[in-house]
Amino acid sequence: MTVIDLGADWAVEPAQPTLPRRGSTVRAAAAVCGVLLACTMTAAAPAPEPRLTELARWAEPQALLLATAGADTLLVHTPAGVTAYDAADGRRRWSLPGSTDWVHDVGDVLVLGFSRLENTSAQPQFAYADAVAVDRSTGRVRWRAEAYLEQVAGMLVSFSGNPERPVAQVHDPATFALRWRVAAARSFVVDRWGSAVWELAADGGLVERELATGAVRRSARVRLPGGTRVAVLASRDAIGIVGYRFDAGGIEEHAEVLWYDRADLAATGAENRWAWEADCGAGTSCAYPYDNGPPYLVDSATGAPIRPLEGSSHVGSPAGLLLFDDGGEPGTEIRARLEPAGHRARTDVAGWRVLSMTGQVARILGHEDGDPFATHVAELTADGLRPLGREPHGLVQCASVPRAMACTTKAGEVVIWRIGEERP
């Protein structure tokens, strides 16, 4: 194993000794002795202990994507297949051939969606994949299916048919056994906030069902909006029903949306109704509305809006929301971060790039330096940047688990490192 040196860049420069003034020989001698003692103590001080220990390095010029599964597995995707590596020692665990479109990590099971030939049908359809479920540690295949799958609250939900009127079924991720299916031709929505499915029953009543079993939790009759058809929506605190109609040009558009409080299904307002929320670190979420309004940074606990979000890509961190130069995409240089408390702009991460993210939360940053060239690597924590080490090549992307990370380099390599504990 190779230990990556943190380099002199992370060391604190010793203070320059002050020359003694002219005076008595005793004072001069004492000053010189003090300087020598200070220099000796500085020289004896231990250098910062490196936190990155190289576990594996190999040439992989076709690496497309790095990912993680659980807290113990690193995945390397190439056009030819996907390979899993043990995060503890960097050893290869298993490999499967084929190009992957998506990965669902469900407990001990890893479900991979392998690409199929592009559908040439003119009708709207779901993007089916050859789904293969394997044991995360051994790679043993548990089941296969041709399906479009979404992971919700520990379950797998398959969708088929017309996307506007889909057929939905809930499956056990370990075996793909059918748990239950949503009644055909009914409007429904999978509720990620409540681990439920909401549907409009045949008699027009609104029904909430347990996602895992399909058992009815409650039902109520509510007023429906006007329109040629209706659909159900789910948000953090409310359930909505939207009506659609055709305009003069034959284009379908929203006619009206009615919202009902999740707690008692009483009519409620339309403010701050998010279609999707993603963890953005530091107790915040990036929330995306159903309407054409701007996305917002919100309090994860209460849903209260904090501030509107700019641009189309948003990256959070344990140290606050990251802002990029020229509103650029992640991968461009960071301009600043917003403090979690007070949301003031701080520039201590300016010039760094995001190398790894979990969802929309950045963890590993890189900063390139010349003479000699190196990429400095740091972990972004709630307390700010924490140095990890440096790599003599440019780094393209990384994936990290709590105690390990894998990166691709501009030299066409993949490197796996163990991340050591930070010493106080």
Sole residue written with tokens 């929330």? 287
Count helices and strands (H / E) in the chain: 1, 35
CA distance 245 to 249: 11
Sole residue written with tokens 């919100």? 298
Q: Reduce the DSSP state of residue 30 to 3 states and report it.
A: helix
CA nearest 273: which of 244, 243, 241, 301?
A: 241
Average pLDDT over residues 43-71: 84
Three-state SS string over 1-12 comes to: CEECCCCHHHCC
The neighbouring-strand residues paired with 231 are 242
Say which residue, 118 or 250, is predicted with more confidence.
250
336 Cβ partners below 8 Å, 6+ apart?
322, 323, 345, 346, 347, 349, 350
Average pLDDT over residues 32-48: 44
pLDDT tens profile 183-219: 887 899 999 999 999 999 877 799 999 999 999 999 9
Element holding 37 (H helix, E strand): helix 25-44
Say which residue, 329 or 266, is predicted with more confidence.
266
The neighbouring-strand residues paired with 46 are none
CA distance 295 to 275: 10
Whether residue 339 is predicted with pLDDT greater than 70 in this model: the reply is yes
Answer yes or no: are the C-beta atoms of 340 and 282 closer than 8 Å.
Answer: yes
pLDDT of 119 reads 64
pLDDT tens profile 4-36: 444 444 433 333 333 344 444 444 444 444 444
pLDDT of 151 reads 97
CA 234, 235, 240: angle at the middle one, nearest 5? Answer: 55
Whether residue 42 is predicted with pLDDT greater than 70 in this model: the reply is no
pLDDT of 283 reads 96
Average pLDDT over residues 385-405: 94
pLDDT of 328 reads 59
Q: Band of the pLDDT at 122, cuts 50, 70, 90?
A: low
pLDDT tens profile 362-383: 999 999 988 789 999 999 999 9
pLDDT of 44 reads 47
CB atoms within 10 A of CB 353: 19
Element holding 40 (H helix, E strand): helix 25-44
Distance of CA 34 to the CA centre of its chain: 53
Whether residue 396 is predicted with pLDDT greater than 90 in this model: the reply is yes
Answer yes or no: are the C-beta atoms of 363 and 317 closer than 8 Å.
Answer: yes
Is 402 exposed, middle or buried, given 0-12, 13-18 or 19+ CB atoms closer than 10 A? exposed
Average pLDDT over residues 80-94: 98
CA distance 299 to 282: 9
Three-state SS string over 266-318 comes to: CEECCCCCEEEEEECCCCEEEEEECCCCCCEEEECCCCCEEEECCCCCCEECC
Q: Reduce the DSSP state of residue 322 to 3 states and report it.
A: strand
Structure tokens, 163 = 């996307």
Structure tokens, 291 = 């309407």
Whether residue 411 is predicted with pLDDT greater than 80 in this model: the reply is yes
Average pLDDT over residues 348-358: 95
Structure tokens, 152 = 């919700």
Answer yes or no: are the C-beta atoms of 419 and 45 closer than 8 Å.
Answer: no
Amino acid (1-letter code) at residue 306? I
pLDDT of 31 reads 44
CA 256, 277, 154: angle at the middle one, nearest 5? Answer: 110
Whether residue 38 is predicted with pLDDT greater than 60 in this model: the reply is no
CA nearest 211: which of 241, 165, 179, 249?
A: 179
pLDDT of 367 reads 95
